[in-house]
Amino acid sequence: MEYLIVAIFILGYLGITLEHTTEIDKLAPALLMMALSWACIAFGIDGFQSWFDPAHHQLMDGTNGTMNFVNIVGDARHHILEETLLHHFGKTCEILIFLIGAMTIVEIIDHFDGFSTIRKFIKTNNRKTLLWIMTILAFILSAIIDNLTATIVLITILRKLLSHNRERVWYAGIIIIAANAGGAWSPIGDVTTTMLWMGGKVTTVKLLQYLFIPSLVCMAVPTLIASFLRPFKGEFHDAPSSGETNPKGPLMLYVGLSLIIFVPIFKTVTHLPPYVGMLLSLSIMVLLAEIISARTFSIHNIDTPNQGHQPSATFKALSKIEMPSILFFLGILMTVAALESLGLVFTFGQQVQSTMNNNLFVMLLGISSAIIDNVPLVAASMGMFDMATFQQDSSIWHFIAYATGTGGSMLIIGSAAGVVAMGMERISFFWYLKNIAWLALVGYIAGAGVYAILVL
C-alpha cells in the first residue's frame, strides 16, 4: 500500500507540473491525491508496520516512551489514524487561515487604491535609479505583504511608469529575484517561511538575525550586475496618468501594513498561534473599512436614502482572494502529511543525513525548488530531521528558509512571484532562462556564501 500512495503522489505532482499543458488547475490534482492518499491509508491501516507520531515528532517503534505500532491492532489503529489526521488538518488550517487573513487585508488596501500611494514616492526618470527603487521596494514589501502580492503591486506601478512591455519585462525579472529574497527573511513574507515559523522551527528574531543579510546580498548582487546592463541605462518617459486616486488610500495602506507587521509582535507577547494575531488584525482592518465605506455612502447619498447599502469593501476583498491557491496548499500539505504519517519522509531524511552533508542537501533543495514547488519541499523537509538534534532555530531550518525561498527565482515557474509576473507581462520561459536565470543563480550562491560565513 505504501508503494501505491507514493505512486499517487508522483502522478498527482506530475499533474500539477503539467498545469499549463493540460489546462487543468493545479488544485484538482492536489486535492485528488490528498483524498486518495488518506483513503489508501484508511483501507490499509491494518497492514502498515510503522507510524510517525506528529505530536512528538518520532516513529512509534517502542523507543523513547512511544508505543510500538506493530503491537497495536484493531480499532486502536483507526483511533491513531483519526488523531493524526486531525493533528495535521489543524496545523494546515492554521496556515491557511493565516494566509486568508493576510490576503484579505491586502485586498482591502487595494480596494481603497492604497498601493498607488507608493507611486508618489518615485520621482526619477533614470532607468538605473528606478531599478534600485523597485528592487528595494520589492525586498521590503515582500517581507510585509508576501512576495506574490509585492510582485503584483510593483508590476502594476511599473505599468504606470513604463509604456512598453519590452522595457517592463527586464524590471519584472529583477523584481522576482528581489521579492523572493525579501520573503525569505520574514515570517510572513513567503508561504514556506510562514510554514517553518508556524511549525515552531524558526522564530521571528532569529529569522531576521540569520537571514536578513544573506537575503539582502541575494537581492543586491543581481541588481548591481543588472544596473550595468543596457536595458537599465539612460532615461525613460512616464506613461500617461490614468484616473483619480482614493483619498483614503494612504490611510488604508499605512494601517494595513502596520496591522500585518503587528502579527509577529502579537505572537511574541502572547505566545498564541500566529493566526490569532492575524484574525485580530483583520477584524480591525474590516472595522475601519466598513466605517469609511459607510461614511462615504452617507456623504454622497444624503438625499437618496432608499437606494440600498454601499457594497461592502470586505465582501469585495473576500471575493478576490486566491481560493484556488488556498485549496492547492491544503491538498499539497495534507498529501505530504500522509506520506509523513507512514514514516516515509522521516526515513528518507535519515538516509539523506547518513549519505550527504546537510548543508549540501539544503543547497540542492533550493535549486530543486526552481523546478518543484517549494511548498511540498519544505513540508517534507520539516518531517525529515530529528527534532531532538535539530531544535527550534537550528541553522538547518533557517538555511532551508533561505534556500527554498530564493532558489525558485532561477526559473520563472519556480515561484509564485515568477508565475504571476509571467502572466501579467507575458514573459516567456526561455527569455527568462536566457536573461534573468543566471542573475538569480549568482544571487542565490552569493547569499548562501554569506550565510555560510555568518551562521554555519
In a domain, 58, yes or no: no
* Residue 35 included in any domain: no
Do the Cβ atoms of 195 and 379 come closer than 8 Å?
A: yes
Mean pLDDT of 320-348: 85
pLDDT of residue 255: 94
Q: What are the grid coordinates assigned to 302, written together?
A: 444624503
Q: How far lies 17's CA from each of 14, 38, 210, 290, 340, in Å? A: 5, 22, 32, 41, 22
Least confident of 7-21, 116-130, 193-207, 379-393: 379-393
| Range with the largest mean pLDDT of 54-63, 72-81, 437-446 | 437-446
Is residue 355 in some structural domain? yes
User: Is residue 352 very low, low, confident or very high in pLDDT (cuts 50, 70, 90)?
Assistant: confident
pLDDT at 309 over 70: no
Could you tell me the residue range of the domain that residue 340 belongs to? 89-454
Residue 453's pLDDT is what? 94
In the chain, pLDDT over 70 holds for what percent of residues? 93
Q: Is 238 helix (H, G, I), strand (E, B) or coil?
A: coil
Torsion of CA 280, 202, 54, 363, to 10 degrees: 130
Mean pLDDT of all residues belonging to the chain: 86
Calpha distance 203→401 (Å, rounded): 12
Beta-bridge mates of residue 61: 68
Cβ-count burial of 22 within 10 angstroms (0-12 exposed, 13-18 middle, 19+ buried)? middle
Q: Do residues 349 and 384 make contact, with C-beta atoms less than 8 angstroms apart?
A: yes
Task: Compute the average pLDDT of residues 318-336.
Answer: 85
What residues form DSSP beta bridges with 162? none
Taking 80 as the threshold, does the pLDDT of residue 57 lie above it? no
DSSP-assigned beta bridge partners for residue 58: 53
Whether 426 contacts 222, CB under 8 Å: no
Helix, coil or strand: residue 54? coil
Q: What's the whole-number mean pLDDT along residues 159-182?
A: 91
Query: Is position 364 within any domain?
Result: yes
Q: Give the closest residue to 177 by CA, choosing from 424, 450, 444, 448.
A: 444
Position 38 in a domain: no
pLDDT at 89 over 90: yes
- For residue 374, the model assigns a pLDDT of 79
Q: Where is pLDDT greater, at 447 or 324?
A: 447
Q: Residue 358's closest CA among 328, 313, 321, 399?
A: 399
Specify if 79 maps to a domain. no
Radius of gyration of the chain (CA): 23
Is residue 287 very low, low, confident or very high in pLDDT (cuts 50, 70, 90)?
very high
**How far from the centroid of its chain's Cα atoms is residue 317's Cα?**
19
Could you tell me if 154 and 138 are in contact, meaning their C-beta atoms sit under 8 angstroms apart? yes
Round to whole Å and give the CA distance between 176 and 412. Answer: 8
**pLDDT over 90 at 219, yes or no:** yes
Task: Reply yes or no on whether the pLDDT at 265 is more than 60.
Answer: yes
Kindly report the number of other CB atoms within 10 A of residue 130's CB atom. 19
Asked if pLDDT for residue 69 goes beyond 60, the answer is yes
Burial letters 383-418, b for 16+ CB under 10 A, else e: bbbeeeebeebbbbbbbbbbbbbbbbbbbbbbbbbb
Query: In sequence order, which residues have a C-beta less than 8 Å from that of residue 449 and are 6 or more positions away?
Result: none
Does position 245 have pLDDT exceeding 80, yes or no?
no
DSSP character at residue 68 = B
Which H/E stretch holds residue 344?
helix 344-355
Closest CA to 175 of 191, 156, 160: 156
Model confidence at 144: pLDDT above 50: yes
In whole angstroms, give the CA distance from residue 89 to residue 94: 9
36-46 average pLDDT score: 92
pLDDT computed for residue 431 by the predictor: 92
Please tell me the predicted confidence (pLDDT) of residue 241: 58
Q: How many helices (H) and strands (E) does the chain have?
A: 21, 2
Output the furthest CA–CA distance in the chain (Å, rounded).
77
Q: Is residue 447 part of a domain?
A: yes
Q: Looking at residue 164, what is its pLDDT?
A: 86
Q: Give the pLDDT score at 149.
A: 83
What integer is the mean pLDDT of 98-115? 87
- The domain total for the chain is 1
Kindly report the number of other CB atoms within 10 A of residue 119's CB atom. Answer: 14
The answer to whether residue 18 is domain-embedded is: no
The pTM (predicted TM-score) of the whole model is 0.81
Q: How far apart are CA 4 and CA 119, in angstroms?
A: 53
The tens digit of pLDDT for each residue in 412-435 reads: 878 888 878 887 888 888 899 999
Do residues 421 and 155 touch, judged by C-beta distance below 8 A?
Answer: yes
